[in-house]
Chains A and B, each alone.
Chain A
Amino acid sequence: MKKGTGARGQGSGMRKQESEVRSQKSESRTAGWIALGLLIATSAFAADAGNTFFLKNADVYPVTGPMIKGASILVQDGKIVDVGAKLVAPKGVNVIDAHGSRVYPGLIDSGTELGLSEISAERVSVDTSELGEFMPQLRALIAINPESEHLGVVRVNGITSAISYPAPVRGGGGGGGRGGGATQYISGQAAMIHLSGWTWEDMEVARSAAMQLNFPAIRGRGGRGGGNADFNPDEFGGGAAGGGATTFAEQKRQYDQQIAKINEFFDAARQYQKERMSNVPGFKKDLKMEAMMPVLEGKMPLAVSASRARSIHDAVLFADKQHVKIVILEPHDMDKVGAELKAKNIPVILGRTEALPDAEDAAYDEGETGPAEAYKAGVKFAFGTFDNEFSRNIGLQASRASAFGLPPEEALKAVTINAAQIWGTADKMGSIEKGKWADLIICDGDPLDTMTHIERVFIKGNDTEMMNKQIRLYRKYLERP
């Protein structure tokens, strides 16, 4: 069964990834050398000459402004120093020619377990979902494996940073991780990381970007998603639709109890705050409570996973009551809660656009039109894949939403500047502007679409290796005799 048409020569894509775009030294000019030498000698930032360069001949998409054709970007010590059409490369600086390619800010995935989970079916390789009901003191950052194969795989598709959560956020709400029976309300502190670094300290963008709260839910049908039959070898009966025999009244009671429990915990934290501030004698430090302080002070938002309208509404009430800031993860029912969220300026992280509708009778494109609905409601949102394996495709998530009503520029914002703003890092990232980090991607087309090749990815001005486990295997087996 040989193929009819001849196989195309390999790796035109591959060739592109290996990047013809090489750094070139500027033409040597004595003066330039001297200037460079002086620069090196005198400047304090001599340490990383690699993250200083001048990128030219690019169509730059700053995101926060209109596209600049034939522009250049000057990066020094990993920061964007200048952007514009008429820039001139300073002497002695590494010049990179983009050959007319496009340059965008690196994409941001606001929902992952990158570094915390390697093979999702194998518990030993997964470090999310600790035991315990209230675990605010847990920090995702320190458990991140800088050599996780996922980082390289995701990064080469142009994602430069991500939020890694201490517990999965799938199906929205109700706590309890994979295989965990007991409920977990507060899973710990989610971190924002760059997808490259020698250590997690290197990778750290925001050590505690948010406190993850799994809001209770009344279990109806399961969440969205087809569910690959292959991923669930235990699914031997096909669709044992959950939902036990308990009545709604019973479920509602449990639900209310769970919310009460969360409130109790927060009240206890406030009490601790009081005692802490008053320097009460005999005051003992409690790590859990200490971890709650920034939340109560409004410095750290709660990332609240809540899918259905009821949970979202109650989460909003909860936030009001406890005077805390929240971000809602994976909300559905935008048509029902949009107005409320907008009124309170509560941002959301939208889950997979490509998702099956929740109910049999729902519109077939319910998932795809979700972002447009959020946009129309005036709710600020960013995208999250909530799936390490899918993270590389976050761009596709955004563009698909554009097919179903979301303006394309909004789609791009939702994976760049909006995310940075929601997580409080917009001064450093999310767009191509002076003063921000040089988290940049160079690509031959729309980075949110399927066929685009990402040529180079810079993180803090460092040209990251366009290499990962998969490319290594690709190369190897391409060469098999």
Chain B
Amino acid sequence: MKNLARLTSHRRSENALPYGRASNALPYGGASNALPYGRASNALPYGRGSEESARPDGRASNALPYGRGSEESARPDGRASNALPYGRASIWMATLVLCGAPAFAQPEPTSIAIRNAKIVTVSGATIAKGTVVMRNGLIEAVGDNVAVPADALIVEGDGLTVYPGLVDGLSTWGMGTAAAATGGGGRGGGRGAAAPAGAAATPAAPPSRGPEDRPSTTSWLKAADEIQPGDRRIELARSAGFTSAVVFPTRGIFAGQGSVINLAGEKAADMVLVPSVGQYISVSRGGGGGGGGGGAGFPGSLMGYIAYIRQIYLDVDYYKMLKAEYEKNPRGMRRPEYDRALEGVMESKRILLPANRWVEVERMLNFSAELKQPTILYGMREGFDSRSTDHLKGKNTPVLVSLRWPEAQRDRDPDDEETLRTLELRAKAASSPAALKKAGIPFALYTDGLDQARDIQRAVKKAMDSGLAREDAVRALTLSPAEIFGVADRLGSIEKGKIANLVVTRGDLFEDRTRVEMVFIDGKKHTPAPDATGGRGGAATPETPQGMRR
């Protein structure tokens, strides 16, 4: 085994553990993520170019930046480090079986070219028939007259359309079910814990007595540190055409810092594109917490939450000032007490505030101006209302629109009259994206807990039926979220040099009959399960504990 390993050592680290992970690890062809094919084992430190991890092939461990031609990361085979094996029924992978080693992963193609496909670049004009070439996990070339490299694996794109991989602008995919549940207070999902949300609530902690107790605050928490690659929703997301997501811890008032991740990876580090892109703030206890106070502690009312957030930012200013003073000359000065809540807030380059009704949009915009923080509003249920857009104009505050359109309550008392407000909301909610577009407000769409491809597609289609042009819908799930989170220089459109995240469909994206044929993440292909995009009956609910594969 070991000798064979050496033969193929240019593809693997010398200290890669053989099938060290999941016991169900099969030779290539089985569970795709069972093997560390082509990657250093997780025993390696993520040292970039650290000698410990230096591999005979000169490649650094897998903690490399997704190398833009970086020498450190350049592999003799030209592949990016964290490329996953194409575990499933992938015919052409079989052809790459190395000599004498059917037990090992097929090597990744050095380059993949999709040719003769319709290419929706988003950043530029749509190419009716063109080619996109991927190499090293990046887009090497795209155009209607692009030569296919000799070593490229060819994907025939006739009848197919290529889009940038979809980006979920606000997500908990990859955070595991515990984090996904909107339970009571408490910390973000524990690593690998399948504990029900209730257990994570704070029965032991005494109720908070004021802002000094830093209630429901875990601002230092980074989604990047909480990623669970085995989260089953990731696979579902890919079936829907998503290749990355901006994931956040979502429990608490200052829930923590979000991260842009790719929706494929053996380990978390493979998936993280940008570790910290903003602080998620909420103004409710989420789920069952009662009204204003009582047993739950401060804050219990909306004004309590707002006052707390305001106080935190005052404390941040004060803390910064004290630290600066102390830095200048500690002698004779009492040291400022370390406050990780404030540190976490300070690390956050922007904040996310909730706003569904136009009243809340107005409220949060005022608040954001007062806090002087770059802000993104999320929810935007009443985005269609002109008062929302009027307030947003000129405020330089992008918004994330939930795709979970309001629905009629089932099993309503037929004698109970619904309010005009409710009826209007249901009738118009899906037109919010179109209204925001028309008003020139930067926005992105997010799935807000919709995990099934069919539901997501339907939701986007509804927005389109309500006035959002397809190209705007596509943009709202690709380049726009990338722009909003400051990663448009590397993600969100099909341009040379950007990360090779693509979705390939048969048919126009978001149409009912369209199938997602495959997605590429970091230039590696993933194929959805056969029934994944076909309206799977009986949704697998996210509450089932995720099988942790390690």
By a beta-carbon cutoff of 8 Å, the part of chain A in contact with chain B is 218, 220-221, 235-238, 240, 247-251, 308-310, 359-361
Between-chain CB contacts (< 8 Å), 13 pairs: A221-B416, A237-B291, A237-B300, A237-B301, A238-B292, A238-B301, A247-B411, A248-B414, A250-B411, A310-B415, A360-B419, A360-B420, A361-B419
Q: Give Cα A424 to B333, complex, Å.
A: 88
A361: contacting residue among B294, B411, B420, CB under 8 A: B420
Interface contacts beyond A237-B300, A249-B411: sample of 13 additional A-B pairs, CB < 8 Å, sorted by A: A221-B416, A236-B292, A236-B293, A236-B300, A237-B290, A237-B292, A238-B292, A238-B301, A248-B411, A248-B412, A308-B415, A359-B419, A360-B420
Nearest opposing residue in chain A for B414, CB measure = A248
Known contacts: A237-B300, A237-B301. The answer to whether A220 contacts B413 by CB under 8 A is: yes
Q: Give Cα A235 to B414, complex, Å.
A: 29
Known contacts: A360-B421, A361-B419. The answer to whether A251 contacts B413 by CB under 8 A is: yes
CB contacts (< 8 Å) of A360 on chain B: these are 419-421
CB contacts (< 8 Å) of B421 on chain A: these are 360
Known contacts: A237-B291, A238-B291, A361-B420. The answer to whether A309 contacts B415 by CB under 8 A is: yes
B291: contacting residue among A236, A247, A359, A361, CB under 8 A: A236
Nearest opposing residue in chain A for B413, CB measure = A248
Q: Give Cα A43 to B502, complex, Å.
A: 111
Nearest opposing residue in chain A for B412, CB measure = A248
Nearest opposing residue in chain B for A239, CB measure = B291
Q: Give Cα A185 to B290, complex, Å.
A: 31
> Closest CB of chain A to B423's CB: distance in Å?
10
Nearest opposing residue in chain A for B415, CB measure = A310
> Closest CB of chain B to A250's CB: distance in Å?
8
Nearest opposing residue in chain B for A250, CB measure = B411
Instruction: Indicate whether B417 reaches chain A with its CB closer than 8 angstroms.
Output: yes
CB contacts (< 8 Å) of A247 on chain B: these are 410-411
CB contacts (< 8 Å) of B417 on chain A: these are 359, 361
CB contacts (< 8 Å) of A221 on chain B: these are 416
Q: Give Cα A249 to B409, complex, Å.
A: 13
B415: contacting residue among A220, A237, A240, A250, CB under 8 A: A220
> Closest CB of chain B to A231's CB: distance in Å?
16
Nearest opposing residue in chain A for B410, CB measure = A247
CB contacts (< 8 Å) of A218 on chain B: these are 413, 415
B262-312 residues at the A interface, CB under 8 angstroms: 290-294, 300-301
Classify the interface of chain B: helix, strand, loop or mixed.
loop
Please count how many residues in chain B sit with their CB below 8 Å of the partner chain's CB atoms.
Answer: 18
Q: Give Cα A218 to B414, complex, Å.
A: 11
CB contacts (< 8 Å) of B413 on chain A: these are 218, 220, 248, 251
Nearest opposing residue in chain B for A309, CB measure = B415
Which 3 residue pairs spanning A and B have beta carbons closest together?
Answer: A237-B291, A247-B411, A236-B292
Q: Give Cα A235 to B416, complex, Å.
A: 25
Q: Give Cα A308 to B415, complex, Å.
A: 9
Nearest opposing residue in chain A for B302, CB measure = A238
> Closest CB of chain A to B10's CB: distance in Å?
60
Q: Give Cα A237 to B304, complex, Å.
A: 11
Nearest opposing residue in chain B for A252, CB measure = B413
Q: Give Cα A218 to B412, complex, Å.
A: 11
> Closest CB of chain B to A430's CB: distance in Å?
36
Q: Give Cα A221 to B418, complex, Å.
A: 11
Q: Give Cα A236 to B289, complex, Å.
A: 12
> Closest CB of chain A to B294's CB: distance in Å?
6
CB contacts (< 8 Å) of B412 on chain A: these are 248
From A218, A249, A360, residue with most partner B Cβ within 10 Å: A360
B372-423 residues at the A interface, CB under 8 angstroms: 410-417, 419-421
Say yes or no: B416 contacts A220, CB within 8 Å.
yes
Nearest opposing residue in chain B for A249, CB measure = B411
CB contacts (< 8 Å) of B301 on chain A: these are 236-238
Q: Give Cα A244 to B290, complex, Å.
A: 14
Known contacts: A247-B411, A248-B414. The answer to whether A240 contacts B419 by CB under 8 A is: no
Q: Give Cα A428 to B300, complex, Å.
A: 57
> Closest CB of chain A to B452's CB: distance in Å?
23
Q: Give Cα A361 to B291, complex, Å.
A: 25
Q: Give Cα A250 to B411, complex, Å.
A: 9
> Closest CB of chain B to A189's CB: distance in Å?
31
CB contacts (< 8 Å) of A240 on chain B: these are 290-291
CB contacts (< 8 Å) of A309 on chain B: these are 415
Nearest opposing residue in chain A for B417, CB measure = A359
> Closest CB of chain A to B529's CB: distance in Å?
34
Nearest opposing residue in chain A for B421, CB measure = A360
CB contacts (< 8 Å) of B292 on chain A: these are 236-238
> Closest CB of chain A to B283's CB: distance in Å?
13
> Closest CB of chain A to B360's CB: distance in Å?
16
Q: Give Cα A361 to B417, complex, Å.
A: 9
From A220, A235, A237, residue with most partner B Cβ within 10 Å: A237
Nearest opposing residue in chain A for B290, CB measure = A237
Q: Give Cα A361 to B415, complex, Å.
A: 14
Q: Give Cα A2 to B413, complex, Å.
A: 56
Q: Give Cα A360 to B420, complex, Å.
A: 9
B298-332 near A? 1/0 per residue, CB < 8 Å: 00110000000000000000000000000000000
CB contacts (< 8 Å) of B416 on chain A: these are 220-221
Q: Give Cα A336 to B411, complex, Å.
A: 23
> Closest CB of chain B to A126's CB: distance in Å?
25
CB contacts (< 8 Å) of A236 on chain B: these are 290-294, 300-301
From B412, B416, B419, residue with most partner A Cβ within 10 Å: B416
Q: Give Cα A247 to B415, complex, Å.
A: 14
Q: Give Cα A235 to B293, complex, Å.
A: 10
> Closest CB of chain A to B157's CB: distance in Å?
49
CB contacts (< 8 Å) of B294 on chain A: these are 236-237
From B293, B411, B412, B421, residue with most partner A Cβ within 10 Å: B411
CB contacts (< 8 Å) of A361 on chain B: these are 417, 419-420
B67-88 residues at the A interface, CB under 8 angstroms: none
CB contacts (< 8 Å) of B290 on chain A: these are 236-237, 240
CB contacts (< 8 Å) of B300 on chain A: these are 236-237
Q: Give Cα A248 to B411, complex, Å.
A: 5
Nearest opposing residue in chain B for A311, CB measure = B415
Q: Give Cα A247 to B411, complex, Å.
A: 5
Q: Give Cα A310 to B412, complex, Å.
A: 14
> Closest CB of chain B to A217's CB: distance in Å?
10
CB contacts (< 8 Å) of A249 on chain B: these are 411
Nearest opposing residue in chain B for A237, CB measure = B291
CB contacts (< 8 Å) of B410 on chain A: these are 247
CB contacts (< 8 Å) of B414 on chain A: these are 248
B417-440 residues at the A interface, CB under 8 angstroms: 417, 419-421
Q: Give Cα A247 to B416, complex, Å.
A: 13
> Closest CB of chain B to A218's CB: distance in Å?
6
CB contacts (< 8 Å) of B420 on chain A: these are 360-361
CB contacts (< 8 Å) of A220 on chain B: these are 413, 415-416
Nearest opposing residue in chain B for A359, CB measure = B417
> Closest CB of chain B to A359's CB: distance in Å?
5
Q: Give Cα A7 to B290, complex, Å.
A: 49
CB contacts (< 8 Å) of A359 on chain B: these are 417, 419
Nearest opposing residue in chain A for B294, CB measure = A236
> Closest CB of chain A to B224's CB: distance in Å?
35
> Closest CB of chain B to A215's CB: distance in Å?
15
CB contacts (< 8 Å) of A251 on chain B: these are 413
> Closest CB of chain A to B320's CB: distance in Å?
35
Q: Give Cα A16 to B11, complex, Å.
A: 107
Q: Give Cα A249 to B301, complex, Å.
A: 33
Q: Give Cα A249 to B415, complex, Å.
A: 13
Nearest opposing residue in chain A for B420, CB measure = A361
Q: Give Cα A251 to B409, complex, Å.
A: 15
Q: Give Cα A250 to B410, complex, Å.
A: 12
> Closest CB of chain B to A192's CB: distance in Å?
34
